[in-house]
Structure 1
């Protein structure tokens, strides 16, 4: 027997629920969450649009007893006339209809939340390191963050810049410890047996992040849809007979896009397909554009491996 389906439109203060041709409104707090459980039977499929941070507590509260689908707004835009007449009730009803039409969609989980935290911490580490390099230059040193260089800096005479260096080093230590902790947790909640790990260049951490962000790859019927979802699809403008490339769209999942970019940095050295692609295109593309093109190629390979459920094969 098919499980019943509901849709929940989430705003900062209110939850609008559509279930079996009826609408309900509850506050977006624990009391409202409990009311939803009274209305919806266990095992019900629930469509919730990802709305910044406002949907997260609700999704966590319902997971376990319900089949919760947290749906990316970019995915919704692909469905013609999804919005229709704008209203909370209409959106809730359309979310329920979307769950039915799409079949398997994102299932919210600790893994997906961990990927968001990992991305935030990783970008924070980069910012702290860049600030440290800036401070080293101000103190008259090279911008190298080698332990020898930092130890020499820390022996210098106290001043405002050195005070910041000490603070930033403490922050960096905490951030890197948190990053390691998140990566260990990711390894626990994502399957170790996925065929994604047969792809050279995609290691354990980035593989877990990609799997958690993608969800069920079967919902992407072709590689173009998958690449677009990653925000790695080319942005092309045409005028008359001229066609100009404007880079990538960046409209998809930013965490997923960064994961493929980081994986591509390794893949150009160890993955024969990506390495060959890199060599063939390095005369036309340079720097980040070339790595981004490799990331797009790697995303296509990942889609094929997961969609067709076949291990990576460099000969194909």
Structure 2
């Protein structure tokens, strides 16, 4: 969408159209009839005027690198599994593998081991580089969040508020906390007569926002009086993931309320 910026600078209106819509409507390209004109007009009416948002752009870059980190780490673990009993990856081991230092590794002496070791070295370097890029982009996100932003007043969130702001945008589009299902924390239930059966959470919406709320609930709940009180009153009824998911849902409602 940055391609549209030169046009905006010249006062030309730039519309953002979903690639899926363009793909579905590609048959009217190069055609000029009343029927196709009407379809084109309808498509333009549904388009949104492009509005460049620096924070949103940086957050999407962060999420892009986060995806790459997961892919590199999973591929590295797969490669390690082929040649050893240990596929765990910590910082110290990752740095050794990136240098091609395999002295401390207990490896299977197989025909393909040398080739896999080359793959391990490449992947370890790529993973380290991606992690460094994530640190840089995270710092950029933090610099974009105003120091007086209301989300920073929530204990336990800190500068991670930037990711929430970048992903959610205007939270006012959710009229009530129950409608704030964008983070995928809304419960799924089935009813049969008077019985109500819980089926966990929907996981709809943005997976990173869901993961972020879960991480904050799990690691930072003790720093937030509201979450701590909720934890103390529910820890005997809920355990493990169910408890932290409930905490994450509570935190999402707190974010919506401010």
TM-score of the pair, normalised by structure 1: 0.60
Q: Which has the higher contact order (CA 8 A, sep 6+)?
A: 2
Instruction: Return the match for 2:87 from 134, 143, 163.
Output: 143
Alignment deviations for residues 116-141 of structure 1 (CA, whole Å, 9 cap, x no partner)? 22123223323333443444444335
Per the TM alignment, residue 48 of structure 1 is displaced from its structure 2 partner at its CA by 4.3
Q: What is aligned with 2:215?
A: 262
Q: What is aligned with 1:210?
A: 164
Q: C-alpha separation between the residues in 1 aligned to 2:8 and 2:165?
A: 33
Per the TM alignment, residue 211 of structure 1 is displaced from its structure 2 partner at its CA by 1.2
Instruction: Return the match for 1:196 from 151, 156, 167.
Output: 151
Q: Tell me if structure 2 keeps the 8 A contact 1:115–1:255.
A: no
Looking at secondary structure, tell me which structure has more helix per residue.
2
Whether 1:171 aligns to 2:115 is: no
Q: Specify every segment of 5 or more residues in structure 1 that has no aligned partner in the other structure, as ranges.
A: 1-27, 41-45, 55-85, 100-105, 306-316
Per the TM alignment, residue 197 of structure 1 is displaced from its structure 2 partner at its CA by 1.4
Q: C-alpha separation between the residues in 2 aligned to 1:185 and 1:53?
A: 33
Q: What is the SS of the residue equivalent to 2:67? A: helix
Q: Which moved more, 1:264-273 or 1:163-172?
A: 264-273
Q: C-alpha separation between the residues in 1 aligned to 2:181 and 2:256?
A: 12
Looking at secondary structure, tell me which structure has more strand per residue.
1
Q: C-alpha separation between the residues in 1 aligned to 2:67 and 2:247?
A: 21
Per the TM alignment, residue 171 of structure 1 is displaced from its structure 2 partner at its CA by 0.7
* C-alpha spacing 1:236/1:189, structure 2 compared with 1 (3 Å): same
Alignment deviations for residues 54-95 of structure 1 (CA, whole Å, 9 cap, x no partner)? 8xxxxxxxxxxxxxxxxxxxxxxxxxxxxxxx9443353356
* C-alpha spacing 1:276/1:219, structure 2 compared with 1 (3 Å): same
Instruction: Return the match for 1:248 from 198, 201, 208.
Output: 201
Q: Tell me if structure 2 keeps the 8 A contact 1:223–1:303.
A: yes
Count of residue pairs brought into register by the alignment: 231
* C-alpha spacing 1:201/1:53, structure 2 compared with 1 (3 Å): farther
Q: Specify every segment of 5 or more residues in structure 2 that has no aligned partner in the other structure, as ranges.
A: 23-37, 108-112
Q: C-alpha separation between the residues in 2 aligned to 1:270 and 1:35?
A: 45
Per the TM alignment, residue 209 of structure 1 is displaced from its structure 2 partner at its CA by 0.7
Root-mean-square deviation (CA, aligned residues, Å) is 3.7
* C-alpha spacing 1:300/1:142, structure 2 compared with 1 (3 Å): same
